[in-house]
Chain A
Amino acid sequence: MKLSRNRTGYYIKEGVVSIFTHGLMSFASVCIIVAFLIIMGSFALIALNINAVVGELENENIILVYIDEHLTENEARAIGTRLLATPNVTSARFITREEALTAFIGRYENTERFKDVDATWLRHRYNVFVEDIELISQTRDDLADIYGVAKATANLRIAQGLVTLRNIVSGASVIIVAVLLVISLFIMSNTIKLAAFERREEIAIMKMVGATNSFIRWPFIYEGFILGVFGSSAAFAALWALYGLVADRAIDVESGLISLISFSTVSVPLFVVFTVIGFGVGVGGCGMALNRYLKV
């Protein structure tokens, strides 16, 4: 135990000393991590905001279910339970023919011309909300098959458009993040390779005096870990500040049109992801870079 603490202290000390000894290289590594995480984080925030907007629009995308005009209001209300039992339906709001007529007339300024219109000309109806907008066509057909339902309609083009937009944003985000991750791992690995190349003599000496591979690796791992965590923390702080600026401007200029999600709602998962990636890129890059110098 004593030996282990002694060694851990030595590894950390060597890692820290190496960061300052190879200051330029360390600075370059941190910059790579910060740049990568800011780009990745920006994409993630854009994707999250688009998803939030799409989510809101999804909530407004409903199926209109018209009840057979021969049914009474009570009979029409009774159908509600069957609508709710249909797969993918989350809620259903009953609208009487009178309410429907009032809403219809309310859209126009000149209500005089509707004074002779009778509510019985319209049908009782339901506004049905769905869970998954991609299944809206199937859900509409299922609802239309229920006894007592005269007709079920949905704006499939809007629904399909929203689904396509969400899929494109999600797919593009995954691809961009994956590509950036590979690029940054590669750059980080090469940066550490340069550091290891600079220290190849030292590594060779360590091997010659009986150092195990793990003894040589640990200081580099601590170095990568410290650089990774430092880079991810700096990137997180920078992104927070940038997002705050953008959010303030969006609200000032386009008040009411754009509503960005609050940074605090995503800060914890974003920080965890940044730390994990910073750690992974730092430590993984070190591991990849060192292998060739350990074969002595």
Chain B
Amino acid sequence: MIKMTDVFKVYDKGIKALKGVTFTLNDGEFAFLVGPSGSGKSTIIKLLNGEIAPTDGAVMVNGYNMNKIKMRKMPYLRRTLGVVFQDLRLINEKTVYENVAFAMRVIGATNKEIRARVPYILKLVGLEHKTGMTPPELSGGEKQRVAIARALVNDPQLIIADEPTSDLDPARKLEIFMLLQEINKLGTTVFVVTHEKTIVDRLSERVIAIDGGRIISDGMDGYYNYEVE
């Protein structure tokens, strides 16, 4: 669950990224976060995964108070999240299997658990035949799916996807969003940052729009009500 209450974020150089952002995403929900470049989307993602702290206001993520969380507790918060980064952040030297297994290894899973879980997740995202390949050998869509598999493998309470389809063709984009919807139907909360107006409109999910550091609309009508420049 995400709960942001009147959150402000001012960066060191005085840039005001967020100006009183308030919204709640309950367990099991699916929501898009949309808005133009520089509107504060990335700042929200960084606040949610603990990369930065809010200047003012309250941020709660999966029961962790991000205003008071200690550095030694941060890994445990992050284990409740599955983050799909905009730049994917895959390890090029590791195979598809190792990239996914690596996320389980980090939380102390045994080899037996890894051997049982990783093939299942790779099958779920349709990569069961690419396990031995490395990211440079994969297409853009396949890389996205590896990143999603890695985010899913520890069965997180919340998936955060930051522009997960930025470099894909329209068919692959829809495929990835539908995959995220399927994951949501299995009970995982999904929060997706995107610019994809057409797909957002088509999927009929909750849409939170942000501009200039403020939430300008939050609707369940499934439409991208904000005009991206």
Residues of A within 8 A of B (CB): 2-3, 6-7, 10, 21, 201-202, 204-212, 215, 296
A205 touches B76 (CB 8 A): no
Q: Smallest distance from the beta carbon of B146 to chain A beta carbons, Å?
A: 12
Q: Smallest distance from the beta carbon of B80 to chain A beta carbons, Å?
A: 8
A209 touches B51 (CB 8 A): no
**Could you list 22 A-B pairs, sorted by A, with CB under 8 Å?**
A6-B110, A6-B111, A7-B108, A10-B105, A201-B89, A202-B91, A204-B89, A207-B75, A207-B78, A208-B83, A208-B85, A208-B89, A209-B79, A209-B83, A209-B150, A209-B154, A210-B77, A210-B106, A210-B107, A210-B154, A215-B106, A296-B51
Within 8 Å of chain A (Cβ to Cβ): is B49?
yes
B79 touches A210 (CB 8 A): yes
Q: Can you name the residue of chain B whose Cβ is closest to the Cβ of A10?
A: B105
Query: For B85, what are the chain A residues with a Cβ–Cβ distance below 8 Å?
Result: 208
Within 8 Å of chain A (Cβ to Cβ): is B103?
yes
Q: With A21-B93, A296-B51 in contact, do A209 and B108 touch (Cβ < 8 Å)?
A: no
B interface residues, tally (CB under 8 Å)? 25
Q: Can you name the residue of chain B whose Cβ is closest to the Cβ of A21?
A: B93
Which of A7, A202, A210 has the most chain B CB within a 10 Å cutoff?
A210
Report, nearest first, the 3 A-B pairs whose CB atoms are least far apart.
A210-B79, A210-B78, A211-B106
B103 touches A209 (CB 8 A): yes
Q: Smallest distance from the beta carbon of A264 to chain B beta carbons, Å?
A: 45
A210 touches B51 (CB 8 A): no
Which of B75, B79, B93, B103 has the most chain A CB within a 10 Å cutoff?
B75
- Chain B 87-118 interface 0/1 with A at a Cβ cutoff of 8 Å (1 = within): 00111010000000011011110110000000
Query: For A206, what are the chain B residues with a Cβ–Cβ distance below 8 Å?
Result: 102, 106
**Complex Cα distance A214/B144, Å?**
29
Q: Smallest distance from the beta carbon of B63 to chain A beta carbons, Å?
A: 15
Query: For B77, what are the chain A residues with a Cβ–Cβ distance below 8 Å?
Result: 210
Q: Can you name the residue of chain B whose Cβ is closest to the Cβ of A212?
A: B75
Query: For B154, what are the chain A residues with a Cβ–Cβ distance below 8 Å?
Result: 209-210
Pick the contact of A210: B75, B89, B90 (CB < 8 A). Answer: B75
Q: Smallest distance from the beta carbon of A222 to chain B beta carbons, Å?
A: 15
Q: With A21-B93, A201-B89 in contact, do A208 and B108 touch (Cβ < 8 Å)?
A: no
**Complex Cα distance A211/B72, Å?**
10
* In the complex, chain B residues 35-83 whose Cβ is within 8 Å of any chain A Cβ: 49, 51, 72, 75-79, 81, 83
Query: For B91, what are the chain A residues with a Cβ–Cβ distance below 8 Å?
Result: 201-202, 205
Query: For B107, what are the chain A residues with a Cβ–Cβ distance below 8 Å?
Result: 210
Q: With A21-B93, A210-B76 in contact, do A3 and B108 touch (Cβ < 8 Å)?
A: yes
Q: Can you name the residue of chain B whose Cβ is closest to the Cβ of A209?
A: B103
Query: For A296, what are the chain B residues with a Cβ–Cβ distance below 8 Å?
Result: 51
**Complex Cα distance A133/B72, Å?**
59
B110 touches A2 (CB 8 A): yes
Q: Can you name the residue of chain B whose Cβ is closest to the Cβ of A295?
A: B71
Q: Smallest distance from the beta carbon of A292 to chain B beta carbons, Å?
A: 14
**Complex Cα distance A68/B150, Å?**
98
Query: For A209, what are the chain B residues with a Cβ–Cβ distance below 8 Å?
Result: 78-79, 83, 102-103, 106, 150, 154
B78 touches A208 (CB 8 A): yes
**Complex Cα distance A201/B71, Å?**
19
- Chain B 162-175 interface 0/1 with A at a Cβ cutoff of 8 Å (1 = within): 00000000000000
**Complex Cα distance A205/B75, Å?**
12
**Complex Cα distance A6/B49, Å?**
28
Q: Smallest distance from the beta carbon of B51 to chain A beta carbons, Å?
A: 7
**Complex Cα distance A7/B109, Å?**
9
**Complex Cα distance A42/B164, Å?**
60
Q: Smallest distance from the beta carbon of A115 to chain B beta carbons, Å?
A: 96
Query: For B49, what are the chain A residues with a Cβ–Cβ distance below 8 Å?
Result: 208
**Complex Cα distance A221/B31, Å?**
42
Q: Can you name the residue of chain A whose Cβ is closest to the Cβ of B114?
A: A6
* In the complex, chain B residues 4-37 whose Cβ is within 8 Å of any chain A Cβ: none
Query: For B81, what are the chain A residues with a Cβ–Cβ distance below 8 Å?
Result: 210
Q: Smallest distance from the beta carbon of A164 to chain B beta carbons, Å?
A: 55
Query: For B78, what are the chain A residues with a Cβ–Cβ distance below 8 Å?
Result: 207-210
Q: Smallest distance from the beta carbon of A192 to chain B beta carbons, Å?
A: 18
Q: Can you name the residue of chain A whose Cβ is closest to the Cβ of B108?
A: A3
Q: Can you name the residue of chain A whose Cβ is closest to the Cβ of B90?
A: A205
Query: For B105, what are the chain A residues with a Cβ–Cβ distance below 8 Å?
Result: 10
Q: Can you name the residue of chain A whose Cβ is closest to the Cβ of B89?
A: A205
Query: For B150, what are the chain A residues with a Cβ–Cβ distance below 8 Å?
Result: 209
**Complex Cα distance A161/B189, Å?**
83
Q: Smallest distance from the beta carbon of B99 to chain A beta carbons, Å?
A: 9
**Complex Cα distance A201/B91, Å?**
8
Q: Smallest distance from the beta carbon of B193 to chain A beta carbons, Å?
A: 16
**Complex Cα distance A227/B205, Å?**
55
Query: For B72, what are the chain A residues with a Cβ–Cβ distance below 8 Å?
Result: 212
Knowing that A208-B85, A296-B51 touch, tell me 13 more A-B residue pairs with CB under 8 angstroms: A6-B110, A201-B89, A201-B91, A205-B90, A205-B91, A208-B78, A208-B83, A209-B102, A209-B106, A210-B76, A210-B81, A210-B107, A212-B75
